[in-house]
A and B are shown apart, each in its own frame.
Chain A
Amino acid sequence: ETGVTQSPTHLIKTRGQQVTLRCSSQSGHNTVSWYQQALGQGPQFIFQYYREEENGRGNFPPRFSGLQFPNYSSELNVNALELDDSALYLCASSLDLMNTEAFFGQGTRLTVV
C-alpha cells in the first residue's frame, strides 16, 4: 500500500455535469501528477503540480483543471463531462519533477452516462 489515497473510488456522472476528484499525497512529496487511464490503455498524463503551481500539462482541454494545496493534497476538476471522459483517474506523488519514483493511488473510476 502506498501513502497516496484518492476519493471517491467510484463515481457516476451525467454528461454535461462537473466533477471533482481528490488526492492525498505521500507524506513529504511536493509533486503530484494526474493521469487518465482508459480501459486497455496506459495512463495518459493530464498535468503536474509542484508546490501549488502547475508545472506541465498534457494534451487535455482546459475543462480539465487542477489545484494543489499547501499540504500538497490535490484536486482534479472536470467541467462539461463527455462520455469519453469515462476512465480511471490516477494521481501519483513524487519527490522529484521527473517522477522517477512516483507512488500511485488506487484511482477513481469515473463513469459518464
Chain B
Amino acid sequence: QKEVEQDPGPLSVPEGAIVSLNCTYSNSAFQYFMWYRQYSRKGPELLMYTYSSGNKEDGRFTAQVDKSSKYISLFIRDSQPSDSATYLCAMSESKSTFGDGTTLTVKP
C-alpha cells in the first residue's frame, strides 16, 4: 500500500464549479502538506503548503488538513479553464512523498 493515496480521477467539471481534490495518507510522521499543479510537459508548481490541521485559504484555493483522519483536500472555487491540469498532493517529514495526481479538466 502506498503511503499517499490520491483520488485518481480524471475529473471534468463545467466552468464556475467548485472542485474538491482529496488525498489520504498512512504515515503519521508527515508534518507538512503541499499541493502542486502540473501542466503537461512542465514541472510541478507549488500552490499551497500547510503545517497544521485546519483550513488555509489563498484566493480561489482552500487547503484543508485533518491529521486525525489522515486526510487532506484542496478546494477550487469558481474553477476556470486555465485550472485544467494535474494536481498533486505531497507530504513531507524529511523528504516529500507525492500522490499520483488527479487530472482536472474545466470545460468552458
Contact = CB atoms under 8 A, between A and B. Distances in A.
Sort chain B's interface into a size bin.
Answer: 20 to 34
Interface residues of A, number: 27
Nearest to A99: B96
Interface stretch (B12-20, B43-51, B59-67, B68-76): B43-51
Contacts of A58: 95
A45 B97 CA distance: 7
Contacts of B41: 106
Contacts, number: 66
A38 to B, nearest CB: 10
Contact of B92 (A90, A99, A104, A106): A99
A101 B45 CA distance: 10
A107 interface: yes
A101 B58 CA distance: 15
10 contacts: A4-B43, A42-B6, A42-B99, A42-B101, A45-B95, A98-B32, A98-B92, A99-B95, A104-B36, A106-B41
